[in-house]
Amino acid sequence: MSDVRLAEAAHAVPAHHEEIGFWRTYVFSTDHKMIGRQFYFLGLVMLIIGGFLAMMMRWQLAWPETAVPGLSWVSEPTLYEGIIPPQTYNMLFTMHATIMIFFVIMPIMVGGFGNFLIPLMIGARDMAFPLLNMLSFWLGLVAGVVMLASFFVAGGAAASGWTAYAPLSAKAVFTGVDWGQNLWIISLIILGLSSLMGAINYITTIVNMRAPGMTYFRMPLVIWSLFVTAILLLLALPVLTAALAMLLFDRTLGTSFFLPEGGGKPLLWQHLFWFFGHPEVYILVLPAMGVTSDILSVFSRKPIFGYRAMAFSMISIAFLSWIVWGHHMFISGMNPYLGTAFMMTTMIIAIPSAIKTFNWLGTLWGGSIRFTTPMLFALGFVSAFVIGGLSGIVMASTPVDIFIHDTYYIVAHFHYVVAGIIFAMFAAIYFWFPKMFGRMMNETWGKIHFFLTFIFFNAVFFPMHFLGIAGHMRRIYNPLQYEFLQSLQPINVFITVSAFLLALSQIIFVVNFFYGLFAAKKVGNNPWQANTLDWSVPSPPSHGNFDALPTVFRGPYEYSSPEVTEDFLPQDRRLATDPTTV
């Protein structure tokens, strides 16, 4: 019932809004599309910073304790005439992970594309709570500023890993980092609030504001993925926020939640962190899966294979993600019988992921495949996800994990999954660029960008499996300190050179991006001939999105339908056989 009322109320909103000034259009905007773009630009800027931190780490790993070129001006104790000290190295990997996870993937995929796409794709004029949406962005920005500020306080930024295992993170004396770690905690608490606001908004909007005829099972899979992600965010983030507050109390107020000398338990932190942290992995990867599903269908000109199985596999991944966290803790000192139980659940969660992969292949089968830039990147995501998923099975086996835990095998695995999301992110950027900015990025340079990124991505992360199998520990500052790692140094050099080339390849993207923003040719409503509602409105869509709210007659993937001569059939196009109302 409330569905109908809200949809009617939305119908009553006038299509043309009053003129609003610069500040309310671009800065304190309540328009979901502008807020989406704000998150998106925040993420892209942070991507450059996070990437730069990774390049510094790679320098140290290939040529340990030599001066990083061009950085001799950085003052001590951060660098010593350009040489990275161990303490700074620990800050680099801590902040690289924190920034990439919380300030790149989440803002771009969830904050950016989530905001931009949800109302457009379900046929709504805006989010359910536009003001809350604006607040969500501004809190996110404050969190980002606080996080970056932590580099500049005495003692430097957090250096206890993004997992911040207590007691290392719980007492300043253990790392020598004081306010850096406190600001890290505060920033993530603020960001948690920001994400919570977004999650509530997404869920409310999707439940209540779908256009007439847009049933749950006519929603594009990217909307399904964002819906499931929002539910995970809503349930997972309070756990992290509570754990972070306890950690802050241990650090500043003298409590002992995680400190054994006061009766606390170090493992409690790990349980709380990973109870949030494993759903978090799916918060990151589900939107990437959704984007990939949509793009594969569009450019195969073919319905997605097994739509309902795709939606249900995301739902089951979400459920299962709550009962697998212990696989991060097999060797933590947790009861070994608990480890066995977590191994079972972890094996089970691989099943819905396998279903998704096979259904993507099924979508390609019989298609009429167009190798556009977004399609190439979506295929790149599938390929990376296959490798990341399969290596996950290897480490799910508890005895095998005894050896490969905390080695570069793990680093390879989670970069194939989490850094692999960058392929889906680029797919989404290239695919929705015309809708977001009204112009088309250059396709040829887009494809060159794809091939270079794909080659160097694999050249960086695939050899890390070899390092891991050889026992190379993660988070070590200088591999040459260990005899058994000496012979592996050429691999480290190879990875570093590939990483630099991967970074340089992104210059093509940056140039193409700015060319696309300002100089490329303008496009019409539907340059890709896609079916979803976002392509039925002008590029970029005006304030309020739709002149009249659309009515939806069919699912989102009716490509090559025999009902029409062209190979696509938009969701809101009424055929003679369709009912006049829904």
Partner 1 sequence: MLRWLPENVSTFGAEIDSLLYLTYYITGAVFILVTVLMVLFLVMFRHREGRRAVYSHGNTTLEIIWTVIPAIILLVLAFMSVSTWTKVKANAPPSDFNLQVTAKQFNWEILYPGPDGKFGTPDDFKVDNEMHVPVNKVVRIILKSKDVIHSFFLPNLRLKQDAVPGMEILVWFEATKTGKYELPCAELCGFGHSGMLGWLYVDTPEDYEKWVKENLSQS
User: Which residues in 365-394 contact partner 1 (CB under 8 A)?
Assistant: 365-371, 379, 382-383, 386-387, 390-391, 393-394
Stretch that binds partner 1, among 81-89, 106-114, 118-126, 139-147 (CB under 8 A): 81-89
The minimum distance between CB 460 and partner 1, in angstroms, equals 16
| Candidate list 267, 419, 455, 501; residue touching partner 1; CB under 8 A | 267
Respond yes or no on whether the N-terminal peptide bond of residue 463 is cis (omega within 30° of 0): no
Cβ distance to partner 1 smaller for residue 320 or 549: 320
Q: Which amino acid is at 547?
A: D
The minimum distance between CB 416 and partner 1, in angstroms, equals 11
Q: How far apart are CA 148 and CA 130, in angstroms?
A: 27
How many angstroms from the chain centroid is the CA of residue 382?
Answer: 15
Find out whether 310 and 362 touch, Cβ atoms under 8 Å: no
425 contributes a contact to partner 1 by CB under 8 A:
no
268 contributes a contact to partner 1 by CB under 8 A:
no
460 contributes a contact to partner 1 by CB under 8 A:
no
Q: How far apart are CA 88 and CA 404, in angstroms?
A: 26
Of the candidates 368, 502, 540, 312, the one whose C-alpha atom is nearest the C-alpha of residue 426 is: 502
Contacts with partner 1 in 560-579 (CB under 8 A)? 560-562, 567
DSSP state for residue 524 in the 8-state scheme: -
Q: How far apart are CA 458 and CA 420, in angstroms?
A: 10
501 contributes a contact to partner 1 by CB under 8 A:
no
Find out whether 439 and 521 touch, Cβ atoms under 8 Å: yes
| Candidate list 234, 350, 452, 455; residue touching partner 1; CB under 8 A | 350
344 contributes a contact to partner 1 by CB under 8 A:
yes
Q: How far apart are CA 433 and CA 445, in angstroms?
A: 15
121 contributes a contact to partner 1 by CB under 8 A:
no
Cβ distance to partner 1 smaller for residue 153 or 393: 393
Contacts with partner 1 in 165-224 (CB under 8 A)? 165, 167-168, 174-176
| Candidate list 82, 306, 527, 540; residue touching partner 1; CB under 8 A | 306
Contacts with partner 1 in 281-300 (CB under 8 A)? 300
Q: How far apart are CA 123 and CA 231, in angstroms?
A: 21
Helix (H, G, I), strand (E, B) or coil at 80: strand
The minimum distance between CB 437 and partner 1, in angstroms, equals 27
402 contributes a contact to partner 1 by CB under 8 A:
yes
Burial of 468 from C-beta contacts in 10 A (0-12 / 13-18 / 19+): buried
The minimum distance between CB 284 and partner 1, in angstroms, equals 22
Cβ distance to partner 1 smaller for residue 89 or 137: 89
Find out whether 67 and 81 touch, Cβ atoms under 8 Å: yes
Stretch that binds partner 1, among 213-221, 222-230, 337-345, 498-506 (CB under 8 A): 337-345
Of the candidates 492, 509, 511, the one whose C-alpha atom is nearest the C-alpha of residue 452 is: 509
Find out whether 180 and 155 touch, Cβ atoms under 8 Å: yes
The pair phi, psi for residue 533, each rounded to 5°, is: -65, -30
Q: Which amino acid is at 336?
A: P
Cβ distance to partner 1 smaller for residue 264 or 290: 264
| Candidate list 78, 204, 357, 542; residue touching partner 1; CB under 8 A | 357
Q: How far apart are CA 578 and CA 582, in angstroms?
A: 9
For tokens 């795709």, the residue is 310
Tokens of 490: 């050429």
Partners of 89 in beta bridges: none
Partners of 370 in beta bridges: none
Cβ distance to partner 1 smaller for residue 58 or 543: 58
Cβ distance to partner 1 smaller for residue 97 or 209: 97
Cβ distance to partner 1 smaller for residue 194 or 498: 498
| Candidate list 483, 521, 579, 580; residue touching partner 1; CB under 8 A | 483
348 contributes a contact to partner 1 by CB under 8 A:
yes
The minimum distance between CB 358 and partner 1, in angstroms, equals 4
Q: How far apart are CA 126 and CA 302, in angstroms?
A: 30
The minimum distance between CB 217 and partner 1, in angstroms, equals 12
458 contributes a contact to partner 1 by CB under 8 A:
no
| Candidate list 559, 570, 571, 572; residue touching partner 1; CB under 8 A | 559
The minimum distance between CB 203 and partner 1, in angstroms, equals 28
Q: How far apart are CA 205 and CA 121, in angstroms?
A: 11
| Candidate list 355, 384, 427, 441; residue touching partner 1; CB under 8 A | 355
- Put residue 370 in one of left, alpha, beta given phi > 0 → left and psi -120 to 50 → alpha: beta
The minimum distance between CB 185 and partner 1, in angstroms, equals 17
The minimum distance between CB 462 and partner 1, in angstroms, equals 10
301 contributes a contact to partner 1 by CB under 8 A:
yes
| Candidate list 45, 309, 455, 503; residue touching partner 1; CB under 8 A | 309
442 contributes a contact to partner 1 by CB under 8 A:
no
User: How many residues sit in the footprint of partner 1 (CB under 8 A)?
Assistant: 99
The minimum distance between CB 401 and partner 1, in angstroms, equals 9
Contacts with partner 1 in 16-75 (CB under 8 A)? none
How many angstroms from the chain centroid is the CA of residue 21?
Answer: 33
Name residues whose C-beta falls within 8 Å of residue 248's C-beta, 6 or more positions apart in sequence: 182, 185, 186, 189
554 contributes a contact to partner 1 by CB under 8 A:
no
| Candidate list 473, 501, 517, 523; residue touching partner 1; CB under 8 A | 473
Q: How far apart are CA 41 and CA 456, in angstroms?
A: 24
DSSP state for residue 416 in the 8-state scheme: I
413 contributes a contact to partner 1 by CB under 8 A:
no
